[in-house]
Structure 1
């Protein structure tokens, strides 16, 4: 157990910590969010004794759609000293709205800790506000359940609706309180119930949607299936990779696509099938059957080119007509070829970087799986040493495509890069709770805010505050902030107003061949959504 749990505070000290606010429940955690003390109405709210939550992650108390934003708020507490009253929803069946306040307590001779008070919202909430989970939130929650062995994660329901989707149908899709549903693509939905979806539950939801669709008299059909959240003998990394690929396949090609990819026998069946194709992927990497597109990243103040991001583009049709860049990356991770792919991409980027002039750099994405490998670190060092001048034009983006288990090893790799003068960027910040832990564990020069939050900030004051908090946290650790998926001038101005330094998106330029620095132009478009392969 953590040091915070070994020696709890005295009663008087704890009273001081919580005296600033009344509460139904009191919680004390270490800085990693591990619960070391609980008191109050846990039986009423969760149906379990307070002490049963000892040693658990604080996120277990928070409803899944609110976990990412709550993780951001907790990450700011050591810097700000406290958490101002913040509305969240509890992870109980009712998803009860609660106000959480907190204090970062650091007493002489004591390990620092977070003291939180939780109480009911004093005024009614708008039930429609921020009520719809995103596809990213659904995926993160499914991954969290998949990583909990032996806890009955259940399945991920997959629903296809051909026909108009009314508000009544959307309510039927969510079903009971505590369920989580998100639209993955037009007419395709994912569903997680509070205890994990079952085949019977998916059948009941499908039947209810069919009835409602017939009542409209406009035709259409409904079909439902389930992807079991059970990795079996797979490693956690393999299981999560398979889940991501399965969800991406359903989003793109529906249930028929899942069958073609081998998901009829669950995650394990897919991995067995894709392992047989590992040779194809390995040869494609070795033969460099891919190219890199380069997207400009601009300063939001001067509107000058800052650097490029290298984006992987596999040879068309390599894995099938509909497979995209992310499919290639996911499959490489699943069959254990991440390090080979990351080294190959870095080598191609180094060759391109030799043509740059001035202070321009190229950022390459490197998976956390690779960074925690000592063998990869040695190979990467040798590769950069073989391209000394181009190495000075390199940047590295740490992607959260895989959970980093050996943080010390990953930190050593990142520090070796920084010692060479190669800046490090933490990618997709905010998309997963682990990113906040990585910001604490690793020294980084840049933080890239996930594009979903950039888009949400245009619609919601709450999400604008969330982005502002991420900027504050990043600046506090000495990092500059990049906002991705900038689609319009309005978005660029808003991000700059929130303190973001750099912007990336089709408003500034499409990914493509590396242009000459003098010919970089701002490319605008009328479309709404950008493809981030």
Structure 2
């Protein structure tokens, strides 16, 4: 066997194509397999500039490597994109070596990777937004062929929001790559100019970050990619998983947490599921406390009723937990548990005269379960209904006002009073006032905080009080903390007040000092009149 043949065999054992380029980086010699079937690299490439054969993304790396070449030193492998003609390209890896006897010529070995593909922009199914993505997941988890073998991926591509043509084309290629990897080719979303998310099967182990980098490289862009991958737990309840996904997704977008996608979404989803489990356990075991804050008649300063305030795990601000429970559909059970505890307090000896207000989320009015549950809790002692007030909070928007109003009317027919809580904070406050049957409106404390110094706040409160009076509704000013505020809201004809001036929350209802309440006649039912 000739030595030349042996060396050639050894060379082709580690490469598909051998090139020699001269000092001006033209192809002086080519032997081996071309990038596409039927192409003879010796005939097609000899005499051509190497630069004309490479893609834009490859050119910079190859130039840098060749400029640094020294006799007897082998280059590191370089990922390149090679033109095959007619808009086709193929990925490859190039290694270069400079023999001292051949300098300045450089020997190159090229190994092809993957098939030939087109540089034309691929067609892309329309990208979803965040809500569309959740809808796609819901469809997959609850459809005729429901499945839970799903995974969520977040892809962050900083710098992709440029206005240059290359950025636009790169974004299109990235969208196509992510859609191709997504569930049925239609489960990818673009959440922001630089941020993507998709749902795919959990068994799919392709490296999406590499796909994104390669898609951008075709357009000459070098991008850094951060990604997060989260599989849904086996046996997870689809409804809960969807709500947890929504809560975690909205939290990531709202908090900008995708700047660390390696931890943000997966940790948020894990914490959400854990928090949901803890919340359900707390409701089942009733391991939360109620404290009672007095609400007084502003003209007499006599305690009119108490608001039952939930204290979760010793905290004084359960707002974030309540928000989570509303988002995950857990709030209805909690609202009924609060009512149950408050009714228990009202039944205790010595508390037969007190009236108590309990909060109910707008989400709990989405069906009949809360109203039916409250009726069951008071069925044995219906007189308690006349001492109970339900405060409708606006933390979760009511989607069907007409149905919610029907449920509130049912409570009112049973003798239970209705209050619209935190009026003036939510965007739907006046819509609630217009469309929901109620007896009382509670004015949010943000209006009361500057009621003494702000003419604007006084005007707004004055108009609201007059509107409520015309509708035969009473009003409550919350967060009244000093005498000046109390006098200001009294002057505006607000009927009741709540705040530290009149009493802080206590573990049991404590009547505020004031004129002695009249004795209760035997058989008398204490109501709100």
TM range (shorter): 0.3 to 0.5
Report the structure number with the largest CA radius of gyration.
2
